[in-house]
Structures are given as C-alpha cells and as structure tokens.
Amino acid sequence: MFKHAAVNSEEELYKRIKANDKSAIKELYTAYIGFLSAVCYRYITDKDDAKDILQNSILKIITKINTFEYRGDGSLKAWMTKILVNEILDFIKHKEKSNIFSCDTDIPDMEDEYAPQTEDIPPALIQEILRQMPLGYRTVFNMYVFEQKSHKQIAQVLGIKESSSASQYLRAKRLLAKRIKEYKEKRKEENK
C-alpha cells in the first residue's frame, strides 16, 4: 500500500508497471511527459508533428517497458528519452531530410571561443532559441549536446557527412551564443 505513495521513485514505478499495475502507467506518463515534451519540442517545431511523435513514443514506452532493464535511478528516464529521440530522428530522417541542408544562412560572425554564461538565462529562452534555429543546426546541436552523440554517430543516423555534422554543430553553437549575447545585451539595456 505504501509503495503506491512513492510516486516519484523511478524504481517503484518501474516495479509496479512490471507487476502489471495499470495505474502506474498513467503515473509514469504524468511524471515524465513534461520533460519528454520539452525534448520533443526542442527538435520538432510543428505542434501536430510533435504530438504524433510523442504519442508514438509513449505507446512504444508502454508496450516495451517489459524489455527495459532497470539500472539505477535515471535509467528509466534515459531509456524513455532514447526512445523518444529515436522516434524524432526517424521522423526527421524520413520527412525532413531534404531540409537539413537547406539552411545555410545566418552564419554568425563570432569567434569560436566565446562562451556565454548561461546561468541566468531561463531555459525557456534557450528552448525558444533552439526551436528558431534551422532544422539542420537544431538537430545536430541537440544530438551532440543533449544526447551526447559523436559527430560520427550523428552523421550515420542522419545520413550526412561527419564533417557536415561538425560544421553544422559549430554554426549552431555560434548562433546560440550570439542569441544569448543579444538577449543579455537587450536585458542590460532594459535595466538601465
């Protein structure tokens, strides 16, 4: 009985789902859908597409959770994210592949070493900046930074050259840094 109270424990949730506790599935959804939605929106700007992908991924998670092996706190979240990102990448690869390279605009003229301080930047702003990036930048940057894939892996998944992945990442990074800088400057001016 008390076990049910431990909604926040990933392991408890996992055990209950494995024990065929139907309510645990809803709890799992409630607990992680916010995070998964954020991940999805970071890649996919179209609301309908994002919803489709999320739905697909959640169903996949629910149906395949019995194949998941719990390996400590966070492993379930990581596993779910992986499924989602795979779903997203499948979508991008098949539906929007032609767009990945069609975005060679707006190369920021900035030195590579510029490292903006992001502590005081709201996550929602970063999310918005990423969403406004061209698809190629966005995808590569997300994969490299958040999914921690190597350029080799990214190139393999997206079917592009490794050098292309690296250059898109660099441009994305510069663009993000530029946007952050712009935001900071704007805020400074507002504070004056």
Partner 1 sequence: MKQDWTNQLRDKMAGYEEPAPEGLWDEIEKSLDSIPKNKKSHKTALITVLKYSSATMAAVALCLIGFFFINKRNYDHSYRTSSNMISEPANKNIAISKNSNISVYNNILASAKYVNIKKNTSNPNTYSAEKDFSRNILNNEVYTELPTKKEEKTDTIKSISGKDNTTNKKEYNYPKHYYNNTALAGNLHHVENKWDFNLYVSNIPSQEINNNSYSSLLMAARNNNSSMDICYGLMNDPIPGNKYNYETSDPLLNVQSNSLSKENKTKIKHKQPVRFGITAKYSLDSRWAIETGVTYTYLTSDIYSGADANNYQSKQKLHYIGIPINAIYTIWNNKIISVYISGGGMGEYCIDGKLTTDYTIDNIVESSADENIKDNHIQWSINSSIGFQYNFLPHCGIYIEPGASHHFKDGSDIQTIYKEHPTDFSLKFGIRFSIK
- Compare residues 54 and 135 and give the one whose CB is closer to partner 1: 54
Spell out the residues 6+ positions from residue 44 whose beta carbon is closer than 8 angstroms to its own.
50, 53, 88, 91, 92
CB 137, CB 103: distance < 8 Å: yes
- Compare residues 66 and 105 and give the one whose CB is closer to partner 1: 66
The answer to the question of residue 80 lying near partner 1 (CB under 8 A) is no
The answer to the question of residue 124 lying near partner 1 (CB under 8 A) is yes
Nearest to 136 by CA among 107, 176, 164, 162: 164
Torsion angle of alpha carbons 87, 91, 93, 97, nearest 10°? -150
Binding mask 89-108 for partner 1 (x = CB under 8 A): xxx-xx--------------
Q: How far is the CB of 34 from partner 1 (least distance, A)?
A: 3
Binding mask 27-66 for partner 1 (x = CB under 8 A): --x---xxxxxx--xx----x--xxxxxxx-xxx-xxx-x
Which position has the token pair 């209950």? 16
Joined tokens for residue 137: 């930048």
CB 84, CB 54: distance < 8 Å: yes
- Compare residues 29 and 101 and give the one whose CB is closer to partner 1: 29
Angle, helices 75-95 vs 47-64, to 10°: value is: 130
The answer to the question of residue 127 lying near partner 1 (CB under 8 A) is yes
Task: Return d(Cα 128, Cα 44) in angstroms, integer.
Answer: 11
Which position has the token pair 């489709």? 52
The answer to the question of residue 156 lying near partner 1 (CB under 8 A) is yes
The answer to the question of residue 118 lying near partner 1 (CB under 8 A) is yes
- Compare residues 1 and 51 and give the one whose CB is closer to partner 1: 51
Task: Return d(Cα 33, Cα 29) in angstroms, integer.
Answer: 5
2-10, 97-105, 132-140, 148-156 -> range binding partner 1 (CB under 8 A): 148-156
Chain contacts with partner 1 (rule: CB under 8 A): 26, 29, 33-38, 41-42, 47, 50-56, 58-60, 62-64, 66-69, 82, 86-87, 89-91, 93-94, 112-113, 115-119, 121, 123-124, 126-127, 144-146, 148, 153, 156-157, 173, 177
